[in-house]
Amino acid sequence: MSFKKLFSLFVCAVIVFTAMPFCATAQEYTGEYVDGEAVFEYTQTVGNENDFLNNQNIPTELAEIGITSVKELPVDKIFDTSVKTNTDGTKTKSGYYIGYFDGDVESTCNKLKKIDGVGLATPSTLMQEDAITIPTEVTSPRSLYNTYTKWWFEDLLNIPTAWEEFDTLGNGTVVAVLDSGFTVDHIEYTGRIWEDSAGNKGYNAVTYTSDVSPDTGHGNNVAGIIAGAAGYHYSLIGVAPQSQIMPIKVSEKANSITVPSVVVGINYAISNGADIISMSLSASSANDVFSLLQPACEAAYDAGIIVLASASNNSESASTTLRYPAAFDCVIGVMASGKDGQLCDFSNYDPTLEYYNIAAPGYQILGINGTSTTSVTAYSGTSQATPIIAGLAALYLSIYPDHTPEEFRRSLLNSSTDTVTSNSAVVTDTTYTFPLVNAVNLLSYPNTKPTLYALAGTTAVVDDENSFVYGIDESYTSLEAYIAVSDGSYEVIPTDNGNGTGTIIRVLTNAGAPFRDYEVVIFGDTDGDAKCDGRDTLLCDYAVAGGAVPDSISFACDVDFDNDVDSDDSGIIARCGVFTDFVSQIR
């Protein structure tokens, strides 16, 4: 897997948590971080497993720099934290911990790095929720559907039509939502909250408990966009209302989401079988973003999980500042669009689509109000665009459950033929175009029938009746100069002797499934080496004598194009072998 280019940590890098960013100089820790704690990797070799680092057993060298307590991060699906038994009977383990202390964070991290066994040592970086407006509480159900929801849900993204055409509401899919907490007993969540084997409804990645009660309204809004039921409040309806939400709380209190808690949340989602991870949160470049968060996202991707994240709301180009995890290559980064065919003026954007990949509506999107059953909340932000894509991913996987994250990404990006433009108030000197998702196009894409065709201006012929491709020059080097496939791709399976007669052109659907095989025919070539020479007369003579040969070889032998293989054809091929005759490839 190729990874998106990373901005160096030795440039001006910043975590935006409030409206006032700051700039860190070279060699300093970047970002806004939590006072009194550091994240570190610690490798120990001990005689007894009970001697490994824990709150009751803090080694002297850690205590001497002020570490008073520790918490181990459960990250076994991301890093190898298993206990190894050595030949002398001792035990070795590399674990990841948060150390707590009174004192300067950067100084403590630098001291940690000098201790034997410590690898990574970094501040615990704060992340932000990517909703920018004060939530609006709305209470008039039916009229509000037309005001807040219909424009994107029905008119723009075509979601109800997709439900009907594909007979799915996201059944059987699990979406892990990493956010600031959830009201899991809310009536709108009935039957839509995932439970573990013990009946727990979610996971707290800070306390390692099942208490996911909300610190803000953000998580309920986001989860409602994915799986709202349109039950008690007509105006609220999720993109995939029969999907399951795996609630993962990653905040200790309001505005306190950290990279380590998000990493623990991702580890939990991997361990418990999530199909999709939706993160409406972000940070800029920071030490633990690359050393912890990036490996976590990669581990989820490698486990077959679709990972989505918001591009954030700084009105900035990716060429100026990147936001993570959206900018990681293994993550689909989501921008926010409005009602006017443009990105919202707050949305970050990427003209190259290398870091942020897709746009979805993000203006005044309704979600669950955790404190009321008679009203809903309306938020704006890339936070709201991201769960729309997560809900569409749930619809997609309910139809194509065996598809990989890469297959979903390909279907999403290639099917998004609708577009929005850059916001004219943000980008004033040019206009950029970004793909906008469409539910019907997305769900149709893998099953669209591919078509193999000859490129204009070439002599190539695609013979659909006989499944042959001919009119190609002898000793050609690449079929790309002659043919192409719409709504799919192809792979070439050569013969034992080369890419001549009998070479298979296997046409694949958008999902990568085999659709149809064609065979290359080079007239006069019977041994598959893509040229007519003396060796080809043997098989042609055999065919003239009535011997059974593959249809492609029989067709290749008919070099005088009279629809009959006879001695005249054999004679032409023989003379071609001694350069006294010529076989045309244009039939």
Query: Which of the residues are catalytic?
Result: 179, 218, 383
Residues 6+ away with beta carbon under 8 Å from 41: 94, 95, 96, 97, 118, 119, 120, 121
Four-CA torsion 29, 32, 34, 36, nearest 10 degrees: 40
Q: Please give the Cα distance from 270 to 251 (Å, whole number).
A: 19
Question: What are the C-alpha distances in Å from 64 to residues 60, 61, 68, 108, 551?
Answer: 6, 5, 9, 11, 82
Cα 155 from Cα 524, distance rounded (Å): 57
CA distances from 26 to 8, 11, 29, 108 (A): 10, 6, 9, 18
d(CA 325, CA 153): 26
Q: Could you tell me which of 387, 455, 436 has the C-alpha nearest to residue 177? A: 387
C-alpha 268 chain-centroid distance: 18
Q: Which residues are paired to 160 by β-bridges?
A: none
Q: Which helix (H) or strand (E) holds 399?
A: helix 382-399
CB neighbour class for 32 (10 Å; exposed up to 12, middle 13-18, buried from 19): buried
**Within 13 Å, how many C-alpha atoms sit on residue 43's CB side?**
11
Q: What angle do CA 530, 535, 536 make, to 5 degrees?
A: 60
CA distances from 15 to 33, 94, 141, 259 (A): 8, 28, 38, 11
Closest CA to 498 of 470, 478, 515: 478
Residue 9 · residue 285 · CB < 8 Å: yes
Structure tokens at 356: 């942020």
Contact 443, 555 (CB under 8 A): no
In the structure encoding, which two tokens stand for residue 293, read together?
């968060």
The three-state DSSP-derived secondary structure of 494-513 is CECCECCCCCEEEEECCCCC
Residue by residue, DSSP assigns 166-225 as HT-S-TT-EEEEEES---TT-GGGTT-B---TT----EETTTTBS----SSSHHHHHHHH
Here the tokens at position 461 are 């012929």
The amino acid that residue 321 corresponds to is T
- Do 192 and 229 contact (CB within 8 A), yes or no? yes
Q: Check the CA dihedral 438-444-449-450 and report its sign.
A: positive
Q: Nearest to residue 332, comparing CAs of 305, 295, 362?
A: 305
Contact, 565 vs 579, CB < 8 A?
Answer: no
Biggest alpha carbon–alpha carbon distance for the chain = 96
CA distance linking residue 264 with residue 176, whole number of Å: 13
Residue appearing with tokens 């990036």: 294
Burial (CB count within 10 angstroms: exposed 0-12, middle 13-18, buried 19+), residue 76: middle
- Token pair listed for 309: 């994240």
